[in-house]
């Protein structure tokens, strides 16, 4: 197949590229904004037609959650409009789309892991535009697979793990929120799940994916420092109210992965195993 990867310079896009060599049976077109402006419908259609694209993995998004509150138009363009363009272009060729989404489509008031059929109720610009992007993609392409993920990190780009390692080395003390619960996701594990879907055949619908287990940001930071060998930084637990942000965060972001595990027969690593692997690659 000819497969288009958008957002190739991001965390997930970079991990996808690392795995492409293991799939020589496919031809990959790795693009970021320099190669393809996905907010330009004519450019998208021309690229998909010219390169005879059979499938698209859309890793591109506006992910600056707080900045999104002041940049709603750009956020909407990247997170809602662009997925619709990609979906429509690949639908005309009878192809498929894998659209990456987020736990932010929920309001975070659950006390048990979210399943794909739970009611959505985003309470931030980022969450609302990502949900609209899901709907646009599903409406425009009959073979759309939505994968919602959470707390993404990797060796690439800016993310929580790299920030906590840097701050842990620089500061004697850190305050980290303890009353927001979720599951970290190593972008490499998500990329492996995407390739499992591609190899077995993309089955349309909404799926959830994160690593296994449950943890708070505070406990996650403690684990990051322990695995990175940082012993000189004292980490304090903070309430969300002590660290106000422009965008509301879900207090509970745990996703139920039963559907994707059963559909594709995949095993998902425990979050600490994956964190250990990531940090080993960072240090």
Distance of CA 71 to the CA centre of its chain: 20
DSSP symbols for 150-206? -SEE-SSSS-HHHHHHHHHHH-SEEEEE-S-EE--EEHHHHHHHHHHHHHH----EE
Q: In sequence order, which residues have a C-beta less than 8 Å from that of residue 30 and are 6 or more positions away? A: 5, 8, 13, 16, 17, 20
Q: In sequence order, which residues have a C-beta less than 8 Å from that of residue 158 and are 6 or more positions away? A: none
Q: Report the alpha-carbon distance of residue 212 to residue 13 in Å, rounded.
A: 22
Burial of 23 per CB tally in 10 Å (0-12, 13-18, 19+): middle
CB atoms inside a 10 Å sphere around CB 268: 20
**Strands 55-58, 152-153: pairing kind:** unpaired
Q: Which residue from 167, 170, 211, 208 is spatially nearest to 187, judged by alpha carbons?
A: 211
Q: Torsion over CA of 45, 46, 50 and 55, rounded to 10 degrees?
A: -20
Tokens, residue 174: 């850190």
The answer to whether residue 126 is catalytic is: yes
Distances (CA, A) of 152 to 117, 177, 211: 22, 17, 10
The residue from 62, 85, 114, 126 that is catalytic is 126
CB atoms inside a 10 Å sphere around CB 217: 23
* Contact status, residue 178 vs residue 238, Cβ threshold 8 Å: yes
| Residue positions annotated with a catalytic role | 126
């Amino acid at each position: 197949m000819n497969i288009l990867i958008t957002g190739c310079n991001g965390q997930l896009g970079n991990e996808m590229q690392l795995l492409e060599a293991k799939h020589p049976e496919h031809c990959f077109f790795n693009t970021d904004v320099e190669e393809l402006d996905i907010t330009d419908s004519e450019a998208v259609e021309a690229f998909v037609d010219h390169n005879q694209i059979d499938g698209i993995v859309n890793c591109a998004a506006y992910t600056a959650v707080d900045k999104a509150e002041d940049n709603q138009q750009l956020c909407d363009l990247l997170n809602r409009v662009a997925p619709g363009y990609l979906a429509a272009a690949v639908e005309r060729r009878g192809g498929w789309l894998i659209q990456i989404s987020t736990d932010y489509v929920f309001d975070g008031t659950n006390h048990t892991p979210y399943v794909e059929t739970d009611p959505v109720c985003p309470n931030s610009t980022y969450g609302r535009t990502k949900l609209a992007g899901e709907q646009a993609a599903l409406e425009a392409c009959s073979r759309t697979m939505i994968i919602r993920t959470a707390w993404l990190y990797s060796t690439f780009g800016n993310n929580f793990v790299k920030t906590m390692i840097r701050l842990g080395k620089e500061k004697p003390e850190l305050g980290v929120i303890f009353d927001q619960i979720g599951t970290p996701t190593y972008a490499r594990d998500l990329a492996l799940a995407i390739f499992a879907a591609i190899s077995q055949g993309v089955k349309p619908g909404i799926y959830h994916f994160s690593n296994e287990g449950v943890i708070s940001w505070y406990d996650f930071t403690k684990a990051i420092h322990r695995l990175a060998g940082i012993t000189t930084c004292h980490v304090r637990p903070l309430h969300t109210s002590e660290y106000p942000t422009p965008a509301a965060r879900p207090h509970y972001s745990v996703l139920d992965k039963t559907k994707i595990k059963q559909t594709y027969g995949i095993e998902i690593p425990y979050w600490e195993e994956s964190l250990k692997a990531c940090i080993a690659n960072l240090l």
